[in-house]
Structure 1
Amino acid sequence: MRYSSQVKPISYLKAHAAEVLAQLADAREPLVITQNGEARAVLQDVASFEETQETLAMLKILALGREDIAAGKVKPVADVVARLRGKRTTGR
């Protein structure tokens, strides 16, 4: 995705806030806000932000899983299933 077409100065954001928010929701593309000619912030719609956070959470879970595998913190699936079945029958 190219962000160069979605760059606006902070003065534009101040003058057109409602329009910018509507455009963010419709286009679902982030907007780079500049201040004194430098990129200072990125705005995005809430739905896109939530999707990004969910994706990051999933990637973190995968990374933690890989670390556990590398550290040998694993058990055979048959042992786990047997343990779960044992809990289920004793818990009734």
Structure 2
Amino acid sequence: MRYSSQVKSISYLKANAADVLTQLAEQREPMVITQNGEAKAVIQDVASYEQTQETLALLKILALGSQEIEAGKVKPVADVVGRLRAKRAAE
């Protein structure tokens, strides 16, 4: 993804805030905000932000799972299924 087309100055943001929000919602691409010619912030629409957070959460779960596998904290699926069936039968 290239952000070069989505770079705007802080003064542009101030003068066109409503248009910027509409553009963010329609294009669903983040926008880089500059101040004195330097990138200072990235803004994005709420739906994209929520999607990013969900993706990060899933990646974290996968990383934790990989760490547990490497640490040997796994059990054969047959043992787990047997234990769950025994628990269900006891209820």
TM band (smaller chain): over 0.9
The residue correspondences of 1:11-30 to structure 2 (distance < 5 A) are: 11-30=11-30
> TM-score, normalised on structure 1?
0.96
Residue 50 of structure 1: aligned partner: 50
Report the RMSD for the aligned CA atoms in angstroms. Answer: 0.6
How many correspondences in the alignment?
Answer: 91
SS at match of 1:14: helix
Cα distance in 2 for residues equivalent to 1:89 and 1:18 = 60
Deviating above 6 A after TM superposition, structure 1's stretches of 4 or more consecutive aligned residues are none
Cα distance in 1 for residues equivalent to 2:83 and 2:17 = 57
Task: Note the residue ranges of structure 1 that are not aligned, 5 or more in a row.
Answer: none
Amino acid at match of 1:44: Q
Cα distance in 1 for residues equivalent to 2:53 and 2:80 = 30
Amino acid at match of 1:81: V
> TM-score, normalised on structure 2?
0.97
Task: Note the residue ranges of structure 2 that are not aligned, 5 or more in a row.
Answer: none
